[in-house]
Each structure stands twice: as C-alpha cells, then as structure tokens.
Structure 1
Amino acid sequence: MSTSQPDASQPSDARASEDRATPDDRLHARNGTDVSPEDLVLAAGRDVTPGNLEWARRKLADEGPAALDKLLP
C-alpha cells in the first residue's frame, strides 16, 4: 500500500482531521492542576533524585507553574 493514498478503512472525515495540524490554542502543557517537583524533574528528562527534586523545588519557587510550561512544547 502506498503512503500517498488515504487508508480506505477509515471514514473520509477521520482522514481529513489527521491531515490538519492542531491549532496552538488547543495545545496544553498542563491541565490546570498544581505542578509538583516530581512533574518538573520528569519533564526535564531527569531522574527523580533528592538533588533533582531540590532543583525543581527552587525552580518552582522562582518561576511557579510556568517552569513546567517552559520545558514542554
């Protein structure tokens, strides 16, 4: 099967929605909940260690929940 041909097993409206990019206002890094130091460490791609948790606590104290937004696309 050629990748240039749409998959006939999917409805045409499903194929059309896959061809469009998600608008920026629909993309979210957080769901409005509090950001924990563990969340920040994991989003940074680091291991959860006492040192990394302390780094995350300081970063959250300085930047607030926006610290997570800066790490995620």
Structure 2
Amino acid sequence: MSTSQPDASPPSRTGADDDRATPDHLLHTRTGTDVSPEDLVLAAGRDLTETNLRWARRKLAHEGPAALDKLLP
C-alpha cells in the first residue's frame, strides 16, 4: 500500500516573488576595505601584469574605490 497521494500537486509559484530582481545591496561584494590595484585587475578578469597594475592604479586614482563597484555586479 502506497503512502503517496497521486492527486496532490506541489504548491504553485505564481506570485510576484518569481519576477523580482535581487536587491542591489545584496549583489555587491566589497567588504568596506581598501581596494588594491590587484583587486581591480582580478575583478576585470585580467592577468596580474605590470601593465595591468598600472592601468588599475590610474583607474583607482581617477575613480577611487567605486572603480571596483563598476566592474562587479
């Protein structure tokens, strides 16, 4: 004798929750610590080369820590 109920269906998920995007404050990963040129290079998906580190230093000097926020979701 089976204990399952063939006529029972799982609850439907038709609420508005399915269409909502994740809030912005949950997507950012920065911990409030200083952003290093190495962090910026890696977040951009680049290799840690001297050329890329110079690029990151210039970008951080111009944009500050927000440079990292612009690269990450």
Q: How far apart, CA to CA, are the structure 2 residues paired with 1:24 and 1:61?
A: 25
Mapped contact 2:40–2:56 kept (Cα < 8 A): yes
Unaligned runs of 5+ in 1: 1-5, 7-18
Moved over 2 A (4+): 19-27
Alignment of 1:56-71 (within 5 A): 56-71=56-71
Q: Distance in 2 between matches of 1:31 and 1:55?
A: 23
Aligned to 1:32: 32
- In the TM superposition, what is the alpha-carbon distance from 1:21 to its structure 2 partner? 5.7
TM-score (structure 1 length as normaliser): 0.66
1:23 to 2:23 alignment: yes
Q: What letter corresponds to residue 28 of structure 1 in structure 2?
A: H
Q: Which has the higher helix share?
A: 1
Q: C-alpha distance in 2, partners of 1:46/1:25?
A: 25
Identical pairs, percent: 84
